[in-house]
Structure 1
């Protein structure tokens, strides 16, 4: 089947939904020029997903869907010698072009998956993270901040030491410190093992002493574990799963979501209500400006701006300030 037929089938599927979109991304690994990925749906939106590593096929895909779908989501992370966003900007004229960061979505998906498995309670739980790169470091930080004890396994002792030292610099003061699994010589079983490496992990003997029947194993890097390792886990009835990044689909489309766009249209910014300056959504204003919860449909008066990014205390309010608050409250309640 040629590519036009494949794209036509995807469009036929999408047209069943009120909102339509496609997502195009690439990968750092050597991969096929073109591949269809699992479709995604949320609420009234459907999305067809493609992995494209060939410029000609990318241009053909973009040209085919431009104007036929509402949104075209493009991977902004340049993992190959092909800049998806740069090419998409030249081609897309009718659909709305939106950038996504798949690495961040991967971390969000992993975070949600392990939270679900542990009933959103990582306090004092022990987690082994295999890897010292982008994804491994991000999930290690995330889980440590959730008060888990995180143990790093690196491909080399040097990378492992560097990652552990660097990550601990950024953790909040009272957060459990991230440690090296080998240096710690942990004898207890861990609640989870997460792998984010670009190849296959070959040090199974390091993991088995800390893996128990209740340990949850996540392959986040795809094919990180050997066939023998997986079969042995399955025989032991131990949970092992390959990370499905569809878990964080809402996060991927958050910028273009109606709620987010409404925030920028109705909440964030500065305006005037009955000739009185008001701000909302964190907008920093000059001294005396009234701070409300929503510009277009205010329901709450937060206070008076102090001109330095803060809110005046009650003792600092002038008669003019109090008058402004009173008028805005009247306007909000409909009494003005």
Structure 2
């Protein structure tokens, strides 16, 4: 354990130096993984957003995770904890880890949902989804959630999972959630049928090879194959996919990670600045986003550091249409003056 702890601490020191040089906040994320091909400790590369630089650590040894967070508490700006329960006990002990952190800011995240967001964004921009035959090998947490997204976009999705009872429940759940007006469909399929018929094939097993030479030999020319689980294709399978004219991609999740972090930090800023309302000079009332203002209240982006008027509250949790909001020009002018004085 001591050698692993030293490796982790040395990496954090390098992270802090880089963050200082680039004038960004430092972030450490701790996660577990269901990927069976990954060892007990993985130190990821630096991941940068507009305001942060972070590193992700996959740690399956809970005692090591505790030692690590105790060592880095207060030395980095944020510690991001995996909220999902996977194969190990790290995620299930999230509360215990959080209790050991008193100086750094603690946030939680769901890595699988970041993966699903990335698949959704990638496929919706790269290929036409509606009416497209999409196969998913491995309909677990990631595969099942992704299937729902794709069905809602109008795809015809075929799922394979070894646990047939769980697969049937997943399909029933997707069908119920998508609703009767959804143009997409979802059904169970065999590995062979899915490989032969899919225009897009998502490999979502936890690092277990599901597409080798045999499966690749069944693919349609032009099929888009995405290795979601990392290690779902072997070298022979990748080579034959390309030989047959299929496009093979690994899933690069960094854009979705950036989106997640921006949401986390914007939410933190909203909560830190306070959700509420207040009276201001000029006889007007302002409220922050998230507060339900009475009719005529001017909604602003922040009470602490207001920069933007979002609209006029309708008293029921929404905004008045623009043609009605213009009737509150006096309140808007008062809010603009109040904002200018707080710059």
Contact 1:128 1:151 in 2 (8 A): yes
Count of residues in correspondence between the two structures: 324
In the TM superposition, what is the alpha-carbon distance from 1:246 to its structure 2 partner?
2.7
Distance in 2 (alpha carbons) for counterparts of 1:132 and 1:241: 19
Moved more, 42-51 or 25-34: 25-34
Task: Calculate the TM-score normalised by the size of structure 2.
Answer: 0.78
Distance in 1 (alpha carbons) for counterparts of 2:320 and 2:27: 46
Gaps of 5+ in 1: none
Aligned ranges for residues 174-213 of structure 1 at < 5 Å? 174-180=181-187, 182=189, 190-198=198-206, 199-201=208-210, 209=218, 211-213=219-221
Aligned CA distance change for structure 1 residues 22 and 304 (closer, same or farther; 3 Å) = closer
Distance in 2 (alpha carbons) for counterparts of 1:163 and 1:125: 20
In the TM superposition, what is the alpha-carbon distance from 1:300 to its structure 2 partner?
4.2
Equivalent in the alignment of 1:229:
237
Equivalent in the alignment of 2:31:
25
- RMSD over aligned Cα, in angstroms? 3.6
Contact 1:109 1:248 in 2 (8 A): yes
1:331 has 2:334 as partner? yes
Equivalent in the alignment of 1:117:
126
Aligned CA distance change for structure 1 residues 56 and 333 (closer, same or farther; 3 Å) = closer
Equivalent in the alignment of 1:92:
101
Task: Calculate the TM-score normalised by the size of structure 1.
Answer: 0.80
Distance in 1 (alpha carbons) for counterparts of 2:162 and 2:216: 14
Aligned with residue 16 of structure 1, among 15, 18, 28:
18
Gaps of 5+ in 2: none
In the TM superposition, what is the alpha-carbon distance from 1:132 to its structure 2 partner?
2.7
CA deviations over 1:21-64 (Å, ceiling 9, x no partner): 11111123555332212331223422122111112211222122
Aligned CA distance change for structure 1 residues 89 and 334 (closer, same or farther; 3 Å) = closer
In the TM superposition, what is the alpha-carbon distance from 1:102 to its structure 2 partner?
0.9
CA deviations over 1:57-88 (Å, ceiling 9, x no partner): 11222122222211111111132234442232
- Structure 1 outlier segments of 4+, above 6 Å: 185-188, 202-207, 312-317
